Amino acid sequence: MPNKGKILLIEDDITLSRMYEKKFQSDGYEVVTAYDGWDGLKKTVSEKPALILLDIILPGLDGLAVFKKMRSQTETFNTPVILLTNIGEEDAIYESFKLGAVDYLVKSEVTPAQVVEKVEGFLKERKK
């Protein structure tokens, strides 16, 4: 199966992270994981992912801070980000889209298959 692209998953819940990692790998993606905001921020540059799945509540540096820092760096300014979080707060959603989020998914409302579907749909559109 051809590699469909590299995804960076920044998620502190290890069980959830592994579940998403397995799902994406079985669908042909390379997956890099980070379990805290600072590590995630470093990997946004070092790994050059095609897309980032970003949680908001993270140890060290929260997801919105990671996102803001990404947007201030030339290497990661245009990297697409999908927020994957348990926070359905309007402020967080608004802030995410203001920063240029591709999508905002609430974990309890989507299945891993739906997340993969969203990522695939976005990456296919981007290649056109």
**CATH number, domain at 35?**
3.40.50.2300
Q: In the structure encoding, which two tokens stand for residue 2, read together?
A: 């051809």
**Is 40 within a domain?**
yes
**Is 82 within a domain?**
yes
pLDDT at position 109: 92
pLDDT at position 1: 54
pLDDT at position 3: 82
- For residue 123, the number of C-alpha atoms closer than 13 Å in the C-beta half-sphere is 19
- Side-by-side strand order, sheet with 6-10: 30-34, 6-10, 51-54, 81-85, 103-106
Beta strand ranges found along the chain (DSSP E)? 6-10, 30-34, 51-54, 81-85, 103-106
Number of domains in the chain: 1
One digit per residue, pLDDT tens: the chain, 128 residues? Answer: 568 899 999 999 999 999 999 999 999 999 999 999 999 999 999 999 999 999 999 999 999 999 999 999 999 999 999 999 988 788 989 999 999 999 999 999 999 889 999 999 998 888 76
The whole model's pTM is what? 0.94
**Is 1 within a domain?**
no
